[in-house]
Structure 1
Amino acid sequence: MGLFLVNTSENNKHTSNDFSIMDQKASQFPSIKIERRIIEKNRRDQMKILYSKLYSLLPQHTSKEPLTLPDQIDEAINYIKNLEMRLKNYEGKKERLLGRKRLHTSLNFDSTAGKQRPPKIEIHEMGSVLEVILISGSENQFVFYEVIRIIQDEGADIINAKFSVSGETIYHVINAQIGDSMFIFGAAKITERLKRFVSGSSSDVEPQPELWDFEIHPGTWEF
């Protein structure tokens, strides 16, 4: 019958090492818990500081009672939402103003384009009466005075002159009486001279105001 010898000293050594490791781990648990508590406390303190800074940015309140932290947070959230709504309203107003500005610019451009259109003239012979229709822009008013001067310069008498305004366009209607001595060729001569003048009035030649010094009797005008 054989005998088995057991090395008890070796087994005892392993057992003692295991207990030592367990003791070290157990001793570390309290320190880990304390460290976590410190980290959490620091985090909360930092959040309180941030909340306090955020609340300090809000407008002054009439309430004298101090607000709790949740109330401060709600107050900040409501204020931010209010700012967002005001910002959207301002953006809407800005877009409307820009739209009006674009429309105003467009209208001014169209108006300016209308002003730059050359004047037009139509002449109708009705027996001894010559009817002159002049269409011009408001800045081409000198054309009207020059037409009157040419008619009188050719010996015709102004019966009446009327006008109407539509936007930046002025419509003139001038009626002139042709004398018996110029009945045959006078109308053709006046017509040719008026058309030649109006067609050249839109050129770069500046009008000469001294040529407008003709005498017009108020009794002959009907507005």
Structure 2
Amino acid sequence: MKPPAAREKQRRDHMKELYSTLASLLHLQPYVRMSLPELLDQATRSLKQLKERVEGLKSRKEELEKVVRLNGESSNNERRLRIVQVRESVDMELEANLIIMVNHKKVMPFEVLGVIEQGGAEIKSATFCTVGHHIYCTVHAKAFQARIGFDVELIEARLLKLVY
């Protein structure tokens, strides 16, 4: 049986290890010193932000699934799925979501990116994924200049013209 002092040291070392793991999960820089209560507050804030983001993404997924169902149930002879959605966030960031029917029109990824850049936004990331007969595209962008910004309606209109 270990003496009480050795057990206490082992407990403290274990707690240091856990706090170090928490700091790495929060992506804190190794040179940033912060007290344990501050670290726990930061972890709590991060968890709340992540939870809000998950809720927002779930609601957006449901919204898009509803649109997909409505388009799929249309009585057109040629069932074409065409979705273009452009959103602007508070911090001058833009998110464009497109679903393009492969057989409908050949739309090249560089054309989609070009439309967004012409609208005054700098591309941060873009993903294109082909599943069956659909191309799913998500583009994240930020305004070239914060003071000038970008025109969401113009970008959305040009993307619609490109897709249709």
User: Which structure's relative contact order is higher, taking Cα pairs within 8 Å and 6+ residues apart?
Assistant: 2
TM interval, short-chain normalised: 0.3 to 0.5
Point out the structure with max Rg over C-alpha: 1
Normalized per residue, the structure richer in strand is: 2
Q: TM-score, normalised by structure 2?
A: 0.43
Normalized per residue, the structure richer in helix is: 1
